[in-house]
C-alpha cells in the first residue's frame, strides 16, 4: 500500500526546500516506513540541493532522520513497528568492504546513498503525480513526515532518549567521532588537532576528550565555536582569523607537530597547513568536502617522515555497533551532542537552512 506524506521537495539546483505532498512506495521486502520525529541538516544536503553533485532533482533529501517504525516489509527482521530508530547511510551488505565491517566503503556507496536517487534495482521510492522524484537519499530521504527507509539504514535505539538528540548521530556526529576513534585511535599523551569547530569538528573534539590524548586543539575563525570547543574538551584553541596557524600549532605541540589532525573545514589551504603541522608518523584525516574536482598541492619531501593522509566517509563506522555505543554515551551525558543542536519545526526548514549557512546554527534539527 502506498502512502501520501508531506515532504520538503527541492525542484531544481539552487531552489529552496518547499513542502509538498508526495507518494511513498509500498515497502519492499527489506524496507520500512518510518514516522519521522526529528531530522538533522548536514552540509551535504545543502550541497546536493544547490545542484553540485548529479543527484536527480526534483527530489527529497535528508540523511540524519530519527523516528518510529510504522510498517515493515516482509523480510525485515531487525526492527518492528513501534521501535525507535536512528537512520544512517545504507550499503549493499554483500561486497568485500561491507563483509569486512567497513560499509561506508561499500562498492555501491555512491549510487545507493548520494547520487542514484533510486533503489539498487532502479525503481523510485517517492513519486509525485505519478512521476518518480529523486529519493532513497542515504537510503532514507528523511526531510518528510514519513520516509521509506532501507533496512540497512535503520539502527534500533532505546526509546527513552529524545529522538531530536539522536538524529545527528546518523551522519555528522558519527563522522567526527569515527575520525578519532576509528582512524586516529590516539595513543596516550598524543596531540589531536581538529581543523574547523562545526558539527563534525566539535564531535571530533568530544570524541578525543574520551581518549588518552592529552593535547586537543580546536581551530576555527569563529570565537563562539572555539569557546564551545573548550567546554567540550579542547585543551587549546587557535583562532585562524588572527593567528599564523603553522606557528600557533608548532608552539602548542612543543615543536613536535600533531600526531593526528582531523580536517573538517573543506578548505584545500587549511588541509595543506594541517599536513605541514603533522608530527613524524602523524595522520591527517580528510573529512571536509570541497567542490568536486578540488586539488591540493603538498610538499612531497615533507611526507617522507611517515606521514599519512586518509580520506573518510561517515566515520568508517559499522552503524549497527557504532551508533548504539554513541546513544549510550549521549544517555549518560558523556557525549553532550545537545550542545550543538538548535531545533526548528519542519515547516521552518528554509529558516534552518539560512541559519546553518550563516553559521548561526551549528546543527539544525527539524522536528515533526
Ligand atoms: N566525509 C564525510 O563523510 C562527511 C560527513 C559529514 C560532513 N562532511 C563534511 O564535513 C565538513 C564539515 O561539516 P560540518 O557540519 O562540521 O560543517 P560546519 O560548517 O559546521 O563546520 C566547518 C567549520 O570550519 C570553519 N572554517 C571554515 N573555513 C575555515 C578556515 N579557513 N579556517 C578555520 N576554520 C574554518 C567554519 O567556521 C566552521 O565552524 C563539510 O564540508 C561537510 O560537507 C563530510
Ligand atoms: Zn551528512
Ligand atoms: Zn557493499
* Three-class SS of 71-98: EECCCCCCCCCCCEEEECCCCCCCCHHH
pLDDT given at position 234: 98
Q: Are 84 and 78 in contact (CB under 8 A)?
A: no
pLDDT given at position 199: 98
pLDDT band at 132, cuts 50/70/90?
very high
Cα 68 to Cα 66: distance, rounded to the nearest angstrom? 7
pLDDT at 1 over 80: no
Burial class (CB in 10 A: 0-12, 13-18, 19+), 122: exposed
Measured in Å, residue 193 CA sits from the centre of ligand 3 at 32
| pLDDT above 90 coverage of the chain, percent | 95
pLDDT given at position 254: 86
Q: What is the pLDDT of residues 336-359, one digit of tens each?
A: 999 999 999 999 999 999 999 999
Q: What is the pLDDT of residues 202-245, one digit of tens each?
A: 999 999 999 999 999 999 999 999 999 999 999 999 999 988 88
Tell me which of 182, 225, 287 to substitute to probe ligand 1's pocket, judged by most ligand atoms within 8 Å of the beta carbon.
287
Cα 63 to Cα 39: distance, rounded to the nearest angstrom? 7
Measured in Å, residue 319 CA sits from the centre of ligand 3 at 13
Cα 346 to Cα 41: distance, rounded to the nearest angstrom? 11
Q: What is the pLDDT of residues 80-118, one digit of tens each?
A: 999 999 999 999 999 999 999 999 999 999 999 999 999
pLDDT given at position 243: 82
Q: Whose CA is nearest to atom 2 of ligand 1?
A: 313
Q: What is the pLDDT of residues 12-46, one digit of tens each?
A: 999 999 999 999 999 999 999 999 999 999 999 99
Arithmetic mean of pLDDT over the chain: 96
Which cell numbers in the block locate residue 21? 505532498
Run of H or E including 156: strand 154-157
Measured from the CB, is residue 198 less than 6 Å from ligand 1?
A: yes
Which cell numbers in the block locate residue 205? 573534539
Burial class (CB in 10 A: 0-12, 13-18, 19+), 161: middle
Measured from the CB, is residue 364 less than 6 Å from ligand 1?
A: no
Measured from the CB, is residue 48 less than 6 Å from ligand 1?
A: no
Burial class (CB in 10 A: 0-12, 13-18, 19+), 10: buried
Q: What is the pLDDT of residues 262-295, one digit of tens each?
A: 999 999 999 999 999 999 999 999 999 998 899 9
Measured in Å, residue 341 CA sits from the centre of ligand 3 at 31
Ligand nearest to the CA of 101: 3
Beta strands 308-311 and 278-286: pairing type? parallel
pLDDT given at position 71: 97
Give the predicted TM-score (pTM) of the model: 0.97
Tell me which of 46, 198, 207, 290 to substitute to probe ligand 1's pocket, judged by most ligand atoms within 8 Å of the beta carbon.
198
* CB neighbours of residue 52 within 10 Å: 15
Amino acid at each position: 500500500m502506498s502512502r501520501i506524506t508531506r515532504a520538503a521537495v527541492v525542484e531544481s539546483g539552487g531552489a529552496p526546500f518547499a513542502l509538498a505532498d508526495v507518494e511513498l512506495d509500498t515497502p519492499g521486502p527489506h524496507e520500512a516506513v518510518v514516522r519521522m520525529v526529528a531530522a538533522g541538516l548536514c552540509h551535504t544536503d545543502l550541497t546536493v540541493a544547490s545542484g553540485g553533485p548529479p543527484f536527480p532533482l526534483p527530489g527529497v533529501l535528508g540523511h540524519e532522520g530519527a523516528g518510529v517504525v510504522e510498517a515493515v516489509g516482509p523480510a525485515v527482521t531487525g526492527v518492528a513497528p513501534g521501535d525507535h530508530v536512528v537512520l544512517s547511510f545504507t550499503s549493499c551488505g554483500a561486497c568485500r568492504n561491507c563483509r569486512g565491517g567497513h560499509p561506508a566503503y561499500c562498492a555501491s556507496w555512491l549510487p545507493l546513498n548520494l547520487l542514484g536517487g533510486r533503489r539498487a534495482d532502479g525503481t523510485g521510492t517517492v513519486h509525485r503525480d505519478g512521476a518518480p522524484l529523486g529519493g532513497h537519499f542515504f537510503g532514507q530521504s528523511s526531510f518528510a513526515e514519513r520516509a521509506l527507509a532501507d533496512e540497512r539504514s535503520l539502527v534500533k535505539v532505546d526509546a527513552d532518549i529524545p529522538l531530536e538528540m539522536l538524529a545527528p548521530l546518523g551522519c555528522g556526529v558519527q563522522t567526527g567521532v569515527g575520525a578519532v576513534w576509528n582512524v586516529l585511535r590516539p595513543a596516550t599523551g598524543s596531540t589531536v588537532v581538529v581543523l574547523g569547530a562545526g558539527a563534525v569538528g566539535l564531535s571530533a573534539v568530544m570524541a578525543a576528550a574520551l581518549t588518552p590524548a592529552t593535547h586537543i586543539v580546536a581551530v576555527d575563525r569563529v570565537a563562539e565555536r572555539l569557546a564551545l570547543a573548550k567546554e567540550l574538551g579542547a585543551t587549546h584553541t587557535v583562532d585562524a582569523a588572527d593567528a599564523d596557524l603553522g606557528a600557533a600549532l608548532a608552539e602548542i605541540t612543543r615543536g613536535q607537530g600533531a600526531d593526528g589532525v582531523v580536517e573538517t573545514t573543506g578548505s584545500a589551504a587549511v588541509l595543506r597547513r594541517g599536513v605541514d603541522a603533522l608530527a613524524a608518523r602523524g595522520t591527517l584525516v580528510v573529512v571536509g568536502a570541497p567542490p568536486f574536482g578540488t586539488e591540493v598541492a603538498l610538499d612531497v619531501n615533507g611526507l617522507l617522515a611517515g606521514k599519512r593522509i586518509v580520506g573518510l566517509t561517515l566515520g568508517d563506522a559499522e552503524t549497527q555497533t557504532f551508533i548504539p555505543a554513541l546513544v549510550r554515551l549521549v544517555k549518560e551525558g558523556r557525549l553532550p551532542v545537545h550542545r550543538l543542536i538548535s531545533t526548528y519545526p519542519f515547516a521552518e526548514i528554509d529558516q534552518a537552512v539560512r541559519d546553518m549557512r550563516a553559521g548561526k546554527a551549528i546543527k539544525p534539527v527539524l522536528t515533526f
